[in-house]
Structures are given as structure tokens and as C-alpha cells.
Amino acid sequence: MRVTVELTYDMSKDLGVDSLEMEGVQTVADLIEKAKAQIGPGFEHHTRLAAIAVNGVLINYQRGMKTKLADGDIVAFVKASAGG
């Protein structure tokens, strides 16, 4: 199973990658743990500052970190923005 991970601009700039391809992850929690091990502590810092969406739906509206992943899913880190 292959999942694409899209990063925010800040994450990409700091970590030196635009996106990741992850294999062998079953849930969002698995994906974060595997990415943390692969990329390092900088990844964990950024995950605290961004929301997470699977196929365009925030995980808060699914099963949170227990949200199941399937082959071809796109997991995106989304930075909050505000304006007026």
C-alpha cells in the first residue's frame, strides 16, 4: 500500500522535501511515526502546527489519528490561515 504525503510550504522549506511516499502504514498515527523516524525531529515539530487531511477531509471529522489509510490516499498537512 502506498500513501502520498503532501507537506505545507513551511514543512517543505525546513525539511527539504515537497512530498513523501509512504508504504506499510495503516493509520495516520502509523504514518506520523514512520515519517518521524525517517525525517527526524523537525517533522514532529511541524505536525503540531498543522492540521491533517486525508483525501481532503480533516481527520477531526473522521477517526482522528486512528483514521485508516488505503492505497492511493493523499494525506495533506494543512496550515491554518486567517484573514479578513
Nearest to 12 by CA among 57, 43, 48, 35: 43
In this predicted model, which residue has the larger pLDDT, 43 or 65? 65
The residue-averaged pLDDT of 10-20 equals 89
**Residue 83 confidence (pLDDT):** 60
Query: pTM here?
Result: 0.90
Q: What is the pLDDT of residue 2?
A: 96
* CATH architecture group of domain 2-79: Roll (3.10)
Residue 82: which pLDDT band, with cuts at 50, 70 and 90? low
Q: Are 1 and 37 in contact (CB under 8 A)?
A: no
Q: Which three cell numbers stand for residue 36?
A: 518521524
**Alpha carbon distance 10, 14 (integer Å):** 6
CA dist 5 and 53 (Å) reads 10
Contact 35, 5 (CB under 8 A): yes
Q: Average model confidence (pLDDT) for the chain?
A: 91
Residue-level pLDDT at 29:
96
